[in-house]
Structures are given as structure tokens and as C-alpha cells.
Amino acid sequence: MSKNQQVFIKGKLLSYDSNRTVGKGGEGEVFDLGDGRAFKLFKGPNHPDYVGNDDQHQRDRDGAKLRLQLMQKKLPAYPKLNDRIVAPLDVVTDSAGQAVGFTMQLMTGAQVLRQLTKQGFRAQAGIDNNAVVRMFVDLHRTVSDLHSKKVQIGDFNLLGILFKGATPFLIDADSFQFGQFPCRSFTPRFVDPLQCPKDQLVLTGTHSEVTDWYAFSLMLFECLLYVAPYGGVLTGALAKQVKPDLRPLHRLSVFHKDVRYPDKGTPFASLNDDALDLYHRLLEKDWRGVFPLQLLERMQWISCTACGAVHCRTKCPVCALVTPGAQVQAPAEERHGKVTITRNFHTHGTILDAVFVEGRLMFLYHEDGAFYREGKVQVMPGKLQSGLTTAICGDQTMFATGSTMILASAGRKAESFAVDSYRGQVPAVASNGSNYFYASGGRLQRNHTLGSKYLGSSVTGQTMFWSGPKFGFGTYRVGHIRKAFVFDVDSQSLNDSVNLPAFDGDPLEANCVFSSNRCWFFTVHEERGQIVHRCTVLDRNGNVVATDEARDSDDSWLANGHGRCAGTLPAANGGQLHCLFLGTDEGLVRIDEDNGRLVNKVNFPDTKGLVHPDDRLVLTNKGIALVGTHEVRTLTMS
């Protein structure tokens, strides 16, 4: 639909700006109306995303046509639901009176539930498993209330739930199933295999209250343990017989003896016996039913005082196998073959950021109700919270949330700035360790001795960007088009003609790591029910020099790697080596550019078990700093 096409509510013209996009998915686009409401506009058969002659684009066009036909009757018949549902409010029509979308409540400052499966996000937001359990108790009551009204969610998944504070809300309510309106959409990771044929994870049966509870159970498992029930890697002879994404059809869950459980996960033995029994029956014996609310309400997670393991059992599952008296403090330095690990810092709080600039390793941490920098210098009091962005900028520290950025340092009065935010969710700010950058009123700026330095223009509400030591990278959407740019950190040189590889919709996650000459742009996308990871490497001029992609179920460095840092190193031939160091369950690996591809070039076997899943990697002049949730270590190799 073009920008100036007219749409109406009850015959009254609805004014909206197609550049105020809140989100874009496979079925439609959502716009901020600026009055506390959002507007979802369904994609029609002629939408630019569906232009193409292949079978998939034809299926997309057919699906769009059927969806619009269905909505003519479904939207007017939508039942009244409770306030935990972001439900359709008013039907939006075109000039011919045909339904093309609807308005709904605009959710600002909320996070998608998928974030609760990320250990780093949880630690920095101060969300423990007991808080997760409370959210799922609330969600349980919402699901039960829907079922009492003869409404089923259908396509129930981690992307269809937002949480704000401690309260979960269901979105994508237009796909809910009720009355004569079945839900045809599904997400392969959460579809009930009992409703699929034996050889395809495709919905051929029907959604029901039972399938809603099946998906609820899978989401709870992943949020508590950081591993999906069918996560990990299948090994042995079965790995050659069963495709990774078809494991649910064969009931090959993380409980199976041939599945290698990922290091990032909390061991499933941390669950109490009642929960373990339920999941064994659900995943291996095809039990189906309402998830027991009492099981959730009685679940209490604790940290073992002897070893620190998190569990919800009467006895620690780790100390039951290891004598507590044998637990000793790790030495300040230890050697593993050619690798030396030096412990630099430890806190019982949470480490939030770390950078290496001009020979200094600087870090920010939160402990006992305050934020501190290295040397136990208190920056400011405060608590951890979801949606808080922090960064180190030399001797100053950035704290940003919503549309406000605060710069604080010991012994000085804090400064406050008004900043733009990406779709009302993420402050448009960045730091390269030395300088801070921010967008305000559509102007991209950097700190300067005389106040601020203008670097170039941005699109208010649509821009996200990052900065490295020499240059920065950003991306924004204008209408149907996603654009990208690079900028020099020291001059007013911004190039907005960067051509990124095309991808559907908007990224669920986006992040960058930089060397002096490369930007490694990582994105996560949801495409037709699959989670796809992508890496795009750009040079300082904005040229794409290498790409790679992998699905969530692939045994790939891109889908399963942990912390990462980029380097531009001297090469044996006298040139430069552009590479990425990455933590994996098998230890540190090096990913190199190779004629437009990204290749796992070097493994460092002596580092196996030393790079933890929560470690962020920082390249220093002494080696690689491993920055965990509670500890900073330095890894060096002879």
C-alpha cells in the first residue's frame, strides 16, 4: 500500500505516517498513530515484498488474498477479551469499505518474551528464574481465561508475547482461533508434532487448547534453562538419519542420550522432580493436557551457597555429585596446554560492559544497589532494569533508557540529553569506548570539546546504529525500504548508500562488533516460522565483503556461538587478516574472510571449557579478555 493511499475508520479518514513503523512481519506492518494506538495494515497480494515469479512468492500472494477475505468477517466478529491481550479495537477499511487492518493499543517500553531465553539479557536486566516463573503464572491465567471464552491462541510462540515490567501481554491477536475462524498459521518450533504428518513438521491437524498448553510448556522450559526442549546437537548414527529441525517428530529431545546438551544451558537436572516428570511425559510419551498451575506456584529457584548452581530442588544437583568441601577458590592464574587464564576481577553483582581503549581494560558493573567502574569507583546509585542501555565512554559512563541519556562520572554532576529511540524501544545511542554518539531530532551527533559534533542525518524513530574505533554503521527503514549507512567517527562523512543483502521483515535482534577496518553486522530474523542468523561484514567504505547465514537448528558457529570480538591482524603475506574470535562449546575458534565467505579457519582446542557461554570477548594487547556475568579473565596463548 502506498504512503498516500487512504484508509478509514467508520467512514472517517485515518491519518498515519508510513515512516512511523513499529514493526514489520510476514503478514503486515504496524504503524504508530501517535495517540497511544497502533495500526496494523495487512499486506495485500500486490505488496512489494511479494513481487517475484518463484513458487514461494506466488504462495505469499495467494495467502495474502485469502487472509484479506477471511478478515472481512473475522475482525467484526472479534470477541471482547481481557486487558492482557493486545486485541483489535477498530476495523480499518479502504475506500471500497473492505477491511485492510485494525487499530490496537500501542505497547511502548516492552520486550519480546524471546529475550528471557538470553542469559546476557536476563543478567543485565536483573531478571532471575523466580521472576520468570511469576510471569508464566500470570500468562497461565491469561491462557486459561481465553480458553474459558472458547478462544485458542493457535500460533503460540516466543515472538507473540511482550512483557512490560513483570506483566506479559499477548500480541498478534488477529490470528487467534475462535468460532468459525480457525488459525492456519504455525511456528515449526512450537507446533505440536501430534498435529503433523510423520515426515514433516507442518500443521495438518488443528490447533486447540491442548496445543496451546504444549507450546506454553516448551516456552517455559526454554526461558528457565536457556535451551529449547529440542535444542542441543544430535550426535551418533541418528544424526545422519534425522534432520535437526525434524527432531520433534522423532521425540529426540534434550533428554535423549545422543543429544549433546549445550554449555549455555542450565542443566535440566536443576528442575524439580515434578517438572522433570512432566517434561519427560510431554516430550517422550506424548502426554498432553493443561500445564499444572500448582507446579508453577510451588516452584522456587535458589542459588547453592556452596557452588553457586541455580536450581529448584531440595538438594543442589551439583553438590549431590561433588563434595562441597572439595569446592575451592579458583587460582589467580592457571595453565591449560598453551593457554594461560589470568583472573582480573570478580563481583557478586553483574558486569555490564567492558572495553579496551588506549592500553586500558575498563569495565562497568552493578553491585549492592549501585553502578561501579573499575577500581571500585562508584558512578551512581540505582538498580538494574529491563530496557536500560549502558556503555563506557572513557572516564564517563552512559546510562540510557527511553528517550533520555545520562552521562555520569565520579566527582562530577551528571549530564542529561534528550535522544531519539528506535521505535520507542531502544535508545539511539552508541559508544566506541572513547566517545559517545547519539541521535536527537534526526541528527546523528558525537561528543566534542565544544559540546557536540554533527555527523549526519538519521530518521527519527527508525534508526539503530553502532560505533567502532574508526567508523560506525547504522540502518533504518523508510516505508518498505531498509537502508544502511557508515560514518567516520571524526568527520562529517556519512555514506547512506550502503547496499545490504535483502532480507524479509525487520531483524528480531541486531548487533555489531568492529575492528579498525571491519564491521561484523549480526542479525536474527524470523522467516516463515524459522529463526535465521545472518552475518554481514562491511569495510569502512560500506562495501559488503563477506556474508554467511544459518538456521537456529543448524550445527553452525553462527547459530550456536557465544561471545565474539573482531580483529584486524598482520597476515603472514604482509597484508591484513580480518577475523572474528568466537566462543563455542568446543572452545575458542577463529572465523576468517575467504573470498566473500566466512570460514571457521582455526580452532584452539586447549581453550575448551575455558570460554563460558556468558563471556563477552574483548581483544586486548595481552590476549582476549573474557568478560562474564561475575568475572573478568584474560586468556593468552603462547
Is residue 42 included in any domain, yes or no? yes
Q: Are residues 88 and 117 in the same domain?
A: no
pLDDT tens, position by position, 185-211: 999 999 999 999 999 999 999 999 999
Share of the chain above pLDDT 70, in %: 98
Is the model more confident about 287 or about 490?
287
Rounded to two decimals, the pTM is: 0.92
The answer to whether 310 and 301 are in contact (CB under 8 A) is: yes
Is residue 124 included in any domain, yes or no? yes
Is residue 143 included in any domain, yes or no? yes
- The per-residue pLDDT for 527 is 84
Which residue, of 105, 135, 151, is where some domain finishes?
105
Q: Are residues 30 and 60 in the same domain?
A: yes
- Supply the CATH number for residue 14's domain: 3.30.200
pLDDT tens, position by position, 237-295: 999 999 998 999 999 999 999 999 999 999 999 999 999 999 999 999 999 999 999 99
Q: Are residues 86 and 175 in the same domain?
A: no
Q: Are residues 170 and 230 in the same domain?
A: yes
pLDDT tens, position by position, 144-177: 999 999 999 999 999 999 999 899 999 999 999 9
Q: Are residues 141 and 290 in the same domain?
A: yes
Is the pLDDT at 321 greater than 80? The verdict is no
565: β partners: 581
Measured CA to CA in angstroms, residue 180 lies from 4, 66, 75 at distances of: 35, 15, 12
Is residue 506 included in any domain, yes or no? no
Is residue 68 included in any domain, yes or no? yes
Q: Checking phi first, is residue 308 left (phi over 0); if not, alpha (psi -120 to 50) or beta?
A: left
Q: How confident is the model at residue 322 (pLDDT cuts 50, 70, 90)?
A: low
Kind of pairing between the strands at 350-357 and 360-367: antiparallel
The answer to whether 156 and 217 are in contact (CB under 8 A) is: no
The stretch 484-501 carries a mean pLDDT of 90
Q: Are residues 224 and 85 in the same domain?
A: no
Is residue 289 included in any domain, yes or no? yes
Which residue, of 105, 135, 167, is where some domain finishes?
105
Is residue 187 included in any domain, yes or no? yes
Number of folded domains that form the chain = 2
Q: Where are the alpha helices (DSSP H) in 325-389?
A: none
Q: Are residues 152 and 276 in the same domain?
A: yes
pLDDT tens, position by position, 370-382: 999 999 999 999 9
Per-residue DSSP letter, 207: -
Q: How confident is the model at residue 402 (pLDDT cuts 50, 70, 90)?
A: confident
Q: How confident is the model at residue 3 (pLDDT cuts 50, 70, 90)?
A: low
Which residue, of 53, 80, 105, is where some domain finishes?
105
Q: How confident is the model at residue 329 (pLDDT cuts 50, 70, 90)?
A: low
- Supply the CATH number for residue 228's domain: 1.10.510.10
Q: How confident is the model at residue 64 (pLDDT cuts 50, 70, 90)?
A: confident
Average pLDDT value over all residues in the chain: 91
Is the pLDDT at 327 greater than 50? The verdict is no
- The per-residue pLDDT for 330 is 62
Residues 6+ apart with CB under 8 A from 52: none
Q: Are residues 96 and 169 in the same domain?
A: no
Is residue 140 included in any domain, yes or no? yes
Q: Are residues 297 and 227 in the same domain?
A: yes
What letter represents residue 507's amino acid?
P
Q: Are residues 159 and 76 in the same domain?
A: no
Q: How confident is the model at residue 407 (pLDDT cuts 50, 70, 90)?
A: very high
Domain ranges, residue 24 = 7-105
Q: What grid cell was written down for 420?
A: 531519539
The stretch 518-536 carries a mean pLDDT of 91
Q: Are residues 127 and 263 in the same domain?
A: yes
- The per-residue pLDDT for 331 is 67
Q: Are residues 167 and 291 in the same domain?
A: yes
